[in-house]
Structure 1
Amino acid sequence: MNIRHILFLVWILMSLNASVWGGQADLPEMLQRIKPAVVAVGTVMPTRNPRAVFLGTGFAVADGRQIVTNAHVVGNSLDAAHLEQFAVFFRRDGHEHMLTAELKAIDPEHDLAILYLQDGKLPALEIGDSGKVREGELFAFTGYPIGMVLGLYPVTHRSIISAISPNAIPVIASRQLNVKMIKKLATPYEVFQLDATAYPGNSGSPLYNIETGKVVGIINKVFVQGSKENALSNPSGISYAIPSEHINHLLK
């Protein structure tokens, strides 16, 4: 083996190493772009104690006034008689902020919703092409895993795409079927299965490319073993995300 062959092999090894660890090296810089766009989603009511209630996570897109989250996060009716409103919460420059919002669009089938900020706007994230996502690729998601218990400090997890599978899998026994499951089996669509541990508060967190920051999905559920309480005490380590193509459809 001559020197040219040796140098060529060294170059290949260095390239492989960069491709494996490059995403990890890029993440700290990328978070500076991602975190300002991620918010806690909830409601605020003047006569309630506490005034603010946390429901999930969301992130700004488009013009910075549109907040994408899950339909199940904002699915409950507001108490209009007591002036309850949707709101987003975030921390900037060491201070906590709140902006009220109204529900602009909702897609229960794909568990998506869009809130519109009544005043102000946030740095927006770009929606990527979820059709190009492949199993085994590394991504990250940022959100509020257990609400505002930890304060308004968004938490980031890394995850590979463990599988791209239908959103509804046939059950073993007919007694496990219900109307919601039958509807999903009739019109299935693909979702991303992740190997990271997400929690109920992560609902609405953006799943994004570590190198480009483009959003390829939105966290919408966690595989729970046994009771819902186990999601915190004994997490399964299996989470799911809705592909971003459905976000684009709703935005249009």
Structure 2
Amino acid sequence: MKDRKRLFKYFLAYVFTIFSAVFAVIIYLKYFPVESKVITEKKTVNETKLSETAIEDAIDKAYDSVVTVESYKNNQNIGSGSGFVYKTDGNKGYILTNHHVIDSADKIEVILSDNETVEVKLLGSDEYTDIAVLSIDKSKVKKVATLGDNDNINLGSTVIAIGSPMGSDYSGSITRGIISGKDRMIETDSIIAKVIQTDAAINPGNSGGPLVNLAGEVIGITSMKLATEEIEGMGFAIPINDVKNYVTYLEKGEEIKRPSIGISVINTSDRYSLYMNNISVNTSETGVVIAKVESGCSAEKAGLKKGDIITKFDDNKVTSISTLRYYLYQYKTGDTIKVTYIRDGKENTLDMKLIEKD
């Protein structure tokens, strides 16, 4: 009997202790709440509204700066794309777009966000970077976009593309996506470009339009879309910091000066062209073969000859004509670079001073 009483007392003490502990925790949490981050699959209503508001604000900051670009030749429409006003100065506004949007045009018009059509002037364009600058009467400018800094973008960040997919009928269209890749290197038409990759829907008419971050700043110019049956949702934009490096020249109508080494080259994989140029090399080597050396050029002065295989510029591997051009254009006229090349099966190096391309 005594053992039962003793066990009963222990049980009561145990229950009292548990109750007291729970009560103490409740009181503590009530007066001293603990901050914690809870990750859930569903966002709260307030979080969703905040996200939507940020997107709407970003669109509002850039939307009226965007125009539809229509290109004409002999009064025939030869293409359309998008563009945006990025600057005003004096009595002019300045519009950025793609070179391929206005290439070969003898007349260019833009359609503003209020559907007014205005003729504009081409100030300058560059095929290699695929950018062009147009001027418009300042009185016609609705809004000026803010240029951002693409060095600060993060993978997964929300971005917005504004433009005219499929022409003016769909002008002012907006698509949303994320940053899928930074500093992507893609090759097209023997040109390698460093681009921002996004899954925001970008179609041909979007070319030249802005890619905008949630601050409403332009971080890139949409330029091309990789569209195959195997790959979808891969849009690309020219980083705005790269554009800033050249836009001042184009505003003045100046040609962008790039270095030249004065050679014609063939990819080592192009056996037919090598045969037609009477060049015999080890095609297992990766690089570009010199087919012709111009008299008095940088290559001749440095000692390069027909049949040499260029494999490196400094520490950068040259694997094709595209990579040779890309790395060459990273230098300036007057720079001296170390060239690695193969001649008669042996690897050699030499220093070459770059001159301006004619």
Q: Deviations over 1:124-172 (max 9, x none)?
A: 101011111121111111111111233xx40111111111243335xxx
Residue type of the partner of 1:97?
E
- Which residue pairs with 2:13 in the alignment? none
2:36 is the alignment partner of 1:9: yes
Counterparts of 2:105 and 2:151, CA distance in 1: 34
Q: Matched residues in 1 for 2:78 and 2:61: separation?
A: 26
Which residue matches 2:197?
193
Show the counterpart of 2:246.
250
Partner of 1:74: 102
The answer on 1:116 being equivalent to 2:141 is no
Which of 6, 12, 31 in structure 1 is aligned with 2:59?
31
CA shift in 2, pair 1:104/1:19, >3 Å: farther
What TM-score comes out, normalization by structure 2 length? 0.53
Q: CA contact under 8 A between 2:78 and 2:105: conserved in structure 1? A: no
* Deviation at residue 54 of structure 1 after TM alignment: 5.0
- Aligned mate of 1:89, from 111, 136, 140: 111
Note the residue ranges of structure 1 that are not aligned, 5 or more in a row.
79-84, 170-177, 227-233
- Distance, in Å, in 1 between the alignment partners of 2:69 and 2:117 is 10
Q: 1:209 to 1:71 in 2, by over 3 A?
A: same
Of residues 237, 241, 248, the one that matches 1:241 is 237
CA distance in 2, matches of 1:248, 1:148: 27
RMSD over aligned CA atoms reads 3.1
**Residues 210-234 of structure 1: CA deviation (Å, up to 9, x unaligned):** 2x211100110011216xxxxxxx9
SS in 1 for 2:52: helix
- Do 2:180 and 2:199's aligned partners in 1 also have CA atoms closer than 8 Å? yes
1:218/1:5 CA distance change after superposition, 3 Å:
farther
Which position in structure 2 is the counterpart of 1:213?
A: 216
User: Aligned with 2:128: secondary structure?
Assistant: helix
Q: Does the 8 A contact of 1:90 with 1:98 survive in 2? A: yes
Deviation of the 1:100 alpha carbon: 1.2
Shift of 1:76: 2.0
TM-score, scaled to structure 1? 0.73
Question: 1:81-230 to 2 correspondence within 5 Å?
Answer: 85-92=107-114, 96-118=115-137, 120-122=139-141, 123-150=143-170, 153-168=171-186, 180-181=189-190, 183-184=191-192, 190-210=194-214, 212-225=215-228
Q: Answer whether contact 1:100 1:118 (CA < 8 A) is retained.
A: no
Alpha-carbon spacing, 1:91–1:162, altered in 2? closer, same or farther (3 Å): closer
SS in 2 for 1:248: helix
When the two structures are aligned, how many residues end up with a matched partner?
A: 214
> How far apart are the structure 2 equivalents of 1:149 and 1:235?
27
Equivalent-residue separation in structure 2 for 1:146 and 1:132 (angstroms): 31
